[in-house]
Amino acid sequence: MQTTFTPEQLADPATARSNEILRACVHCGFCTATCPTYQVLGDELDSPRGRIYLIKDMLESGRPADEKTVKHIDRCLSCLACMTTCPSGVHYMHLVDHARAHIEETYKRPWRDRALRRLLAAVLPYPGRFRLALLGAKIGRPFARWMPDVRLRAMLDMAPKRIPSPSRNDDPQTFPAKGETKMRVALLTGCAQKALDTDINDATIRLLTRLGCEVVVAKGMGCCGALVHHMGREHDSHAAAKRNIAAWMDVKDAGGLDAVVINTSGCGTTVKDYGHMLRNDPVAEEAAEISAKAMDVSEILMKLLPDEAAFDAAFSVNEARMDIAGTDATDPRPAGNGPIRVAYHAACSLQHGQQIKTHPKTLLKRAGFEVVEPRDSHLCCGSAGTYNLMQPEISKELKTRKLKTLHDKDPQVIAAGNIGCMMQLAGGADVPVVHTVELIDWALGGPRPAKLGDGLPAQAKSGESAAALP
């Protein structure tokens, strides 16, 4: 694509980067075939190619964002399926991030939009505030029909029926490895996840320590910055990133750091981009180092459990520990005559943002689960951070489509690697929705995931049920 930025414009690093991205686009339109919003709305301007034209015109002219451009950029999920599809390597993520920052700086939204976005930015990244908001939403849910704004109704509807108590595992501390220490890692405990589902971090810590990792929950760590980053609030997202970088560098200085482990793939995509986000900041070197150390939990598990033999050895060790503890040492893996049928939902931030497509499925299969994938697994479920709150109609349509394809596989469980997807799908799924790490933890001696309840059978190799495991 030909561009006409002036030398003065190109002196700005963000504009120079956007110019590189725009010039890589060849107008082929392959991206439209995998864009969820284009499939739902059928408008070229709601496809990556259409949005690229809008962004190009806005940035080249140097003008403030207008209502039309804002509407179509706001409708973008940032699912990044277009990046997976693009044969030219167009880095749409960096381009749309720049566009959102420009919109935030130059466009005055209607007062209701401004108030809502400020509310989300002030609440969601802070677990304590978010927990109070969830409690308020739970109380207000019966009155949702009288809310004047469909987005407010969506927020009330999204509140979970049960708000878990805080987990002390999320407090700053160090969990020693069980047995030989193979790695020292920092765990990003997240923000919204700590309020919505404490079982995920608990399972991650149990599993990693059992496999020989010393796990550090760093003091001073907070939200990764993704939620405000996708709102174009660049100052806030960069501040969050720098806070985390400082916390993890302190971990490194105190005893070494092999990896930053992330079990929410939306956060993982952002942390892996810290090096780009802060490339012109004094902490650029540290940001690049943290990005290089960032790993999805499935990536580190594949390092710790690289093959079937390693998985079987890990189970054998845990079986021995259960024997010592005097507990039931039957194999908790759902193998044998009736493996549990798990529909794997690939979060966009994992399969497109991080290009991790096989690790979770490989781990689940090694654990003895029957793994099935839905049709059109590359398409978004409609969660996308705050998207299901800000664009509830489009999000609802995408959720309906995704659940239909998942239910068509007749699963007993749905597994995903991102808390946003889990909450989105759990609101309409006919079966339990769990994090992949909860199932792997269970398979290697951890407790049965509470979300499974009592109705799901778990066949042990001996033919006995593993439901009685703690």
The domain spans of the chain are 7-106, 117-158, 168-299, 316-329+336-452
Which of the residue ranges 16-25, 150-159, 161-170, 437-446 would you say has the lowest mean pLDDT?
A: 150-159
Please check whether residue 87 is in contact with residue 24, taking contact to mean a CB–CB distance below 8 angstroms: no
Count of alpha carbons within 13 angstroms of residue 250, beta-carbon side: 14
Q: What pLDDT does residue 339 have?
A: 83
171 Cβ contact partners less than 8 Å away, ≥ 6 residues apart: 217
How confident is the model over 112-158, as pLDDT tens digits?
899 999 999 999 899 999 888 888 877 777 777 777 777 777 777 77
**Does 7-106 match 168-299 in CATH topology?**
no
Residue 423 has pLDDT above 80, yes or no: yes
183 or 462, which is more confident? 183
Q: What tokens were used for 308?
A: 């079937």
Q: What pLDDT does residue 272 have?
A: 98
> DSSP H helical segments within 62-162, as ranges?
67-74, 81-85, 92-106, 111-123, 127-140, 150-158
Q: What number is the average pLDDT over the span 231-260? A: 97
Instruction: Tell how strand 173-175 and strand 213-217 pair up.
Output: antiparallel
**Considering the chain, what percentage of its residues have pLDDT values greater than 70?**
91
316-329+336-452 fold: Rossmann fold (3.40.50)
Question: 257: how many CB neighbours lie within 10 A of its CB?
Answer: 21
Q: What pLDDT does residue 316 have?
A: 66
- CATH 3.40.50.11440 for domain 7-106, yes or no, is no
Q: What pLDDT does residue 337 have?
A: 46
Q: What pLDDT does residue 161 have?
A: 77
- What predicted TM-score, i.e. pTM, was given to this entire model? 0.89
CA angle 257, 258, 264 (to 5 degrees): 100
Q: What number is the average pLDDT over the span 236-250? A: 97
Residue 94 has pLDDT above 50, yes or no: yes
Helix (H, G, I), strand (E, B) or coil at 214: strand
CATH of 168-299, one of 1.10.3470, 3.40.720, 1.20.1050, 1.20.1300: 1.20.1050
Q: What pLDDT does residue 163 have?
A: 83
Q: What pLDDT does residue 460 have?
A: 29
- 322 pLDDT tier (thresholds 50, 70, 90): very low
How confident is the model over 274-287, as pLDDT tens digits?
999 999 999 999 99
The beta-strand segments (E) located in 324-369 are 341-344
Q: What pLDDT does residue 257 have?
A: 98
